[in-house]
Amino acid sequence: MSLIQHSTACTLGIVLLACAAWLPWAGTASAQQDEALFRRTRDPKVISMQIKAALPTLERGYAMLISTTEPEPTEAAVSLLHDTYRYLRAAQESSEVLESISKFPDPVIALRNRKILDVRDRLLRCWSNRTHLTDPGPIRAGCIEGLQVGLRNLRVVVATLP
């Protein structure tokens, strides 16, 4: 092996090693951001981000749930619905804390919290019946109908955000 081939091989090995070391960190940043959105906060911008993150997650979960009764897509849909619930729980709890310490409570926040609570309740009903969502029966139909109303309510909430 000549000197040029050896140095090229070493350089390629170093680049591959650097890429391999960087890959675990690449996914961690978005995962950490998602985890931060699952926690309570006092920052209204973060609360807004939590609610805005919940909408596309609920839309994807709802679309996956109505598309098929196969076990894998249904499990993925239930996982998305669970993430939506976590976003909304953190947003609602944070809004309630801000409302309780506010000198002049905003009536829009109270309305938003009631809508979020309704969506969370519908998500929780689907979550508690997750083992029956692969059966095309009344439980699945009720969950889909409830999620449709919840999706409409969440869109109203997102529309009222500052």
CATH for 98 = 1.20.120
Verify that 44 and 117 share a domain, yes or no. yes
Give Cα separations from 97 to 37, 89, 152 (angstroms): 16, 12, 25
Q: Which of 6-10, 91-95, 118-122, 155-159 bottoms out in mean pLDDT, i.e. has the lowest?
A: 6-10
Verify that 8 and 66 share a domain, yes or no. no
Range of the domain at 86: 38-159
| pLDDT at site 118 | 97
Verify that 15 and 42 share a domain, yes or no. no
Verify that 23 and 56 share a domain, yes or no. no
Task: Give the model confidence (pLDDT) of 72-101 as tens digits.
Answer: 999 999 999 999 999 999 999 999 999 999
Verify that 68 and 142 share a domain, yes or no. yes
Verify that 11 and 81 share a domain, yes or no. no
Number of domains in the chain: 2
Verify that 144 and 69 share a domain, yes or no. yes
Who wins on pLDDT, 9 or 88?
Answer: 88
Verify that 142 and 69 share a domain, yes or no. yes
> Quick one: pLDDT band at residue 9, thresholds 50, 70, 90?
very low
Verify that 24 and 43 share a domain, yes or no. no
| pLDDT at site 17 | 38
Q: Decide: residue 50, CB within 10 A, 0-12 exposed, 13-18 middle, 19+ buried.
A: buried
Verify that 125 and 90 share a domain, yes or no. yes
Verify that 49 and 79 share a domain, yes or no. yes
Verify that 11 and 86 share a domain, yes or no. no
